[in-house]
Amino acid sequence: MLTKPLIFDGGRLVLNVSTSALGWLRVEVRDREGRPIDGLAEDDCIEVFGDDIEHHVSWQHDGDLGRSAGTLVRLRITMRDADLYSLRFR
């Protein structure tokens, strides 16, 4: 899934998500040109799994989502056997 361009406030991405035992979800943050932001690429995202109404997405090496706050970004969300109910920035 690729979101529409958006501008957000905050430094955390919070998901309401549910996966099967073998399911997962990963998030990539892209700049206005569609390129993955360093440290926030899909390969940097720590896989999300389980059932959680408030899962804080994180990236390896403490990828800093807050540095992109206030700029135009798109989220690319890749899932396998997962349901994403909502997302928000905090």
Domain ranges of the chain: 6-89
Residues 58 and 3: beta-carbon distance below 8 Å? no
Kindly report, residue by residue over 29-48, the tens digit of the pLDDT.
Answer: 999 999 999 999 999 999 99
3-state SS string for the chain: CECCCEECCCCCEEEEEEEEEEEEEEEEEECCCCCECCCCCHHHECCECCEEEEEECCEHHHCCHHHHCCCEEEEEEEEEEEEEEEEEEC
Flag whether pLDDT at 76 surpasses 90: yes
**pLDDT tier at 71 (50, 70, 90 boundaries)?**
very high
